[in-house]
Structure 1
Amino acid sequence: MPRSVTINFSEAVEVRLSSFKVYPLEAPPEALGNFTQLKRLARPLVQRVLPLRNDAARRVDAGVTTTARTSKSVTLALKPGLRPGAYVVMWKNLGVDGHTETDFFVFVYRPS
């Protein structure tokens, strides 16, 4: 089981002034091999939950472990007991240049 997930940026971001989350994605089993379909399913979830506060119980991440104030790489710890399936890593960051960016990616956990 993965213990963490890392997001790499091309430029440094203000870690404490940004938001990073990992959520499970409800997806049919046949979609797990189709990342185009998974991205389509993930987009409304990201729009709905990224702005939420006090949602730690619904998330599968245990928070940011990156301790630097600014960084090109941000790591989030994952809670133990991750079930097989699709997950969405999402963020709204503030770059050190003052620009914001919102994006996400999907990964599938399939234990061997």
Structure 2
Amino acid sequence: MNQEKFIAERRLLFGRADDPVRKELTIRIAAPRILDPDSVSFRFDEGTAACSAVFEGLDVPHSEVYGIDTLQALRLASDIDPILRGLQKKHDVTFFFPDGDTYFD
């Protein structure tokens, strides 16, 4: 990613539910950007935008989503709960708020 400007952040902890050791996870949402024809390999309408969600602390690729405009791209990228639920199942971990409460009930 090239010098993205992050505009939102959430800090969580993760680990196995039965293990007191927790690791930090920082999720950062980048500012949406209007797509350039050379930046992607698909056709799009003028005004189409992309927005990234970066997960630091867990070995997963960043998530890039596309929207019909910057507002939709930002809304889709900031909807991190479905991504976290998938990561929870795939990596067999539980997510926690910094105070220790579980992220999902």
Query: Considering the TM-score relative to the shorter chain, is it more than 0.5?
Result: no
Q: What TM-score, normalized by structure 2, do the two folds share?
A: 0.31
Which of the pair has the greater relative contact order for Cα pairs under 8 Å at 6+ separation?
A: 1
Larger of the two Rg values belongs to structure: 2
Taking structure 1 as the reference length, the TM-score comes to: 0.29
Q: In proportion to residue count, which structure has more strand?
A: 1
